[in-house]
Amino acid sequence: MAETIRPLRQVEGVSAARSPASADQPIAEAPATDGAPISEPGDWPAAAFEQSSAICVCNVYGDVLKANLAYRNLALELTQGLSGTKGEALFVPADLISQAFRSDDPVITDRRFSTGAGNRCIRLRCWSLSGETGDLVACEFHDVSAEFNAREAMAKANDRFNDIARLTSDWVWEVDADWRFSYVSARILELTGIHDRTLLGRSLFDCGSFDGFSEANRQHNPEPNSRVPFQGVTYELRDPDGNRRIIELSGTPVFHDRSGLFLGYRGTATDVSLQNEAEARVAEAQKRLIHAVETMPQGFAIFDAADNLTLCNSRYEEFLAPASGMLAPGEKYAAILHRAAAIGLFAGDHQDVAALLETLVDHHGRESLEIETQLADERWVQISCGLTDGNGTIEIWHDISRIKNREEKLRAAEGVSSAAREQAEFASRTKTEFLANMSHELRTPLNAIIGFSEILKNEMFGPLGASQYEEYAIDIHDSGAHLLGVINDILDFSKAEVGKLTLMERSVSLEQIVEPCLRLLRPRAEEAGVTLTLHVPKNTPFIRVDELKLKQILINLVSNAVKFTQQGGSVSIAAEAVEGGSLAIRVIDTGIGIAPDDIPKALSAFGQVDSALSRKFDGTGLGLPLASSLTELHGGTLELESTYGEGTTVTVLLPAERVTFPADQAPVPRPDAQLPNID
């Protein structure tokens, strides 16, 4: 075997490994390089061997048998970066030597070394040599650090670009010279729902549209033949659901570094669909606001914190600038007012106008104000000032001339109405006093007429003679009694109207009041062919009332019921305790009834409802009104329910405070109980 060459000073004296390189260890392969394998060293020209790239020849044990100067220099540069057990080969891994022996083709791999000058990448190309000297391996070394670093830098740049494209809020795109998409970042799927693969290879002008958005574009739409950058161009896409997506495109042209050939565009895209919708809503809202402000019948203006005019409607300009009809934004409020005062807008003398202007200016931006003033043209305006969030002022001028005129008319009408009311009250008092006086004056002669006619009728001082005299005496007595009843009703009603009636109250049972009334009215009921009955519960509570006046109420109600009930009908009096402890006394008839529209008339003074039987008995129309007044005098209410042709129910409701119970009587109402008829 040839003498072993030891090329490096650092390894001299160190025994080389004597076990053959393992053939089982895996090796990292690299692409094969061009060039034919080198023949056995004895056949090489020495000059070519020394001047070629770094080459060494190793035996099966990894000992370097021959190496050129380039190898030695490379070994000196990289020795400090080597690791592991040192041997003669230094750069050639054992597994690579083993694979080279087993392969017919060169075996290539790249190795990285860290040196003080940075990372180095060496490409090893090994192949087997067979000759008289035995099995050898030739190793060729190339420094590919520049290529490796370039690839590594490109990989890092690609990773950095992918991270940016993935994390940016926009999506990134690239088109070729024919405007066909050559790259679209995956971010587009997340932002728009459009997959990047659906755009690749398709023309930018075919995938979307630039038409119809000229008002939104900040620059001209890109032209197919353009070679200039563009920014913020509005572009429309349709997502998979067919929804309209508005995109803002920004791009820059790309040219070849050496030839200057146009390669296409690359740029970014922003989905502004929501922003466009929001801007459209804001614009529409602002448009509606401006329209609403402009169509207001009031003058409207907004001033900023410095009291400068921000905006106003034409109505405000009509108030404060009637000559020119224009106010410029930015004008001071005080200047606007004083200019209006100078042309005589406000009514009043100089001092009054100055005080008004000072009040308005002082309140601007400080506190709310509402003031009414008259203009020189006799119009009245209400000036309202309110504060905004930024210490600005909203001012509204409202023409209230019509309201003021109406108020004046109302005041005048109220004066006339008050005078008329006083006159009506005076006339009513006069009428009431007249009726009371007349009733009193008429009762005295009527009592004499009734008394003397009764003497004649009873023939107290002897027979009258002819039978006609007796009949005349009876007629005179009945007519006088009837007329006295009418006068008594008028007198009682007049007293009730003026509040001169008083109650003589005591606690009595309901039977004590009802029985005399029935005895008095039963003959009239029998004469009219009407059945008169009483229905009251057992243990009826006592009531604290004016006995005579309650009798008068019942007599009026029952006599009315008898009068308006046809022959064969019935009239009944019922009583029951109702909710709240009140006592209801009802007079129920089966008479002709009253139409709903006529009920208010029946309850009014002197009101009479026309009917076939309404004039069967004479009357004043005071029965129901007088009964109602007397009931109210007791703190109760009178209610009338009627169905025309079927009958009427009148209810006297006495309040709970007038219902009392004897000490030995429990308040257990029995609505279904019935007293026998009282004859």
Strands (E), 352-491: 369-374, 380-387, 393-399
Q: Which of these ranges, 234-238, 501-505, 601-605, has the smallest mean pLDDT?
A: 601-605
pLDDT digits (tens, 9 = 90+) for 316-354: 888 888 877 688 889 999 999 998 888 888 988 889 889
In the predicted structure, residue 546 carries a pLDDT above the cut 50:
yes
**Is 234:217 a contact under the CB 8 Å cutoff?**
yes
Better-scored residue on pLDDT, 642 or 538: 642
Better-scored residue on pLDDT, 616 or 512: 512
* pLDDT for the residue 220: 55
**Is 554:587 a contact under the CB 8 Å cutoff?**
yes
- The counts of H helices and E strands in the chain are 16, 23
In the predicted structure, residue 467 carries a pLDDT above the cut 60:
yes
Q: Which of these ranges, 306-315, 316-325, 447-456, 580-589, has the smallest mean pLDDT?
A: 447-456
In the predicted structure, residue 31 carries a pLDDT above the cut 50:
no
In the predicted structure, residue 105 carries a pLDDT above the cut 80:
yes
Of the CA atoms within 13 Å of residue 528, those in its CB half-sphere come to 24
Report H helices in 501-579: 510-528, 547-563
Q: Stretch 7-12: mean pLDDT, rounded?
A: 34
pTM score, two decimals? 0.37
Measured between alpha carbons, how far is 517 from 532 in angstroms, rounded to an integer?
11
* pLDDT for the residue 672: 37
Question: Letter for the amino acid at 129?
Answer: L
* pLDDT for the residue 588: 92
**Is 396:312 a contact under the CB 8 Å cutoff?**
no
Question: Letter for the amino acid at 213?
Answer: F
Measured between alpha carbons, how far is 278 from 215 in angstroms, rounded to an integer?
16
Q: Where do we find the tokens 């000297």?
A: 133
* pLDDT for the residue 303: 92
Question: Letter for the amino acid at 632?
Answer: E
Number of C-beta neighbours around residue 293 at 10 A: 18
In the predicted structure, residue 203 carries a pLDDT above the cut 70:
yes
pLDDT digits (tens, 9 = 90+) for 44-66: 566 667 777 888 888 877 778 88
Q: How is residue 138 annotated by DSSP?
A: E
In the predicted structure, residue 673 carries a pLDDT above the cut 50:
no
**Is 66:139 a contact under the CB 8 Å cutoff?**
no
**Residue 128 corresponds to which tokens in the numbers above?**
């087997």
In the predicted structure, residue 178 carries a pLDDT above the cut 50:
yes
* Ranges 10-19, 195-204, 393-402, most confident: 393-402
- Backbone φ and ψ for 129, nearest 5 degrees, come out as -120, 135
* pLDDT for the residue 15: 34
Question: Letter for the amino acid at 200?
Answer: L
Closest listed residue to residue 95, CA positions, set 117, 126, 69, 68: 126
Q: pLDDT band for position 677 (50/70/90)? A: very low
Of the CA atoms within 13 Å of residue 138, those in its CB half-sphere come to 21
Question: Letter for the amino acid at 515?
Answer: E
Q: How is residue 340 annotated by DSSP?
A: H
pLDDT digits (tens, 9 = 90+) for 214-234: 444 445 567 777 788 888 888
Measured between alpha carbons, how far is 482 from 91 in angstroms, rounded to an integer?
153
Measured between alpha carbons, how far is 443 from 488 in angstroms, rounded to an integer?
8
Task: Report the run of H or E that residue 287 belongs to, with start and end.
Answer: helix 273-294
Closest listed residue to residue 398, CA positions, set 495, 297, 539: 297
Closest listed residue to residue 141, CA positions, set 103, 108, 119, 105: 108
* pLDDT for the residue 67: 85
Q: Which of these ranges, 160-169, 259-268, 590-599, 662-671, has the smallest mean pLDDT?
A: 662-671
CA distances from 618 to 115, 138, 144, 242, 326 (A): 141, 155, 140, 92, 81
Q: What is the mean pLDDT of the chain?
A: 76
* pLDDT for the residue 439: 64
Better-scored residue on pLDDT, 106 or 580: 106
Q: How is residue 213 annotated by DSSP?
A: -
Better-scored residue on pLDDT, 74 or 47: 74
pLDDT digits (tens, 9 = 90+) for 229-282: 888 888 888 888 878 888 888 888 889 888 889 898 988 888 887 777 887 788
Task: Report the run of H or E that residue 271 belongs to, with start and end.
Answer: strand 262-271
* pLDDT for the residue 89: 45
* pLDDT for the residue 295: 85
* pLDDT for the residue 397: 92
Q: pLDDT band for position 589 (50/70/90)? A: very high
pLDDT digits (tens, 9 = 90+) for 128-155: 886 655 688 888 988 888 888 888 778 7
**Residue 309 corresponds to which tokens in the numbers above?**
């005019």
In the predicted structure, residue 398 carries a pLDDT above the cut 70:
yes
* pLDDT for the residue 587: 92
Question: Letter for the amino acid at 563?
Answer: K
Q: Kindly state the greatest CA–CA separation across the chain.
A: 198
* pLDDT for the residue 678: 32
In the predicted structure, residue 447 carries a pLDDT above the cut 80:
no
pLDDT digits (tens, 9 = 90+) for 477-492: 667 766 766 666 666 6
* pLDDT for the residue 481: 67
Q: How is residue 158 annotated by DSSP?
A: H
CA distances from 399 to 126, 348, 410 (A): 106, 18, 19
Q: Stretch 91-111: mean pLDDT, rounded?
A: 85
* Ranges 73-87, 405-419, 596-610, 646-660, most confident: 646-660
The string of DSSP codes covering 566-594 is -TT-EEEEEEEE-TTS-EEEEEEE-SS--
Better-scored residue on pLDDT, 159 or 577: 577
In the predicted structure, residue 286 carries a pLDDT above the cut 70:
yes
**Is 571:530 a contact under the CB 8 Å cutoff?**
yes
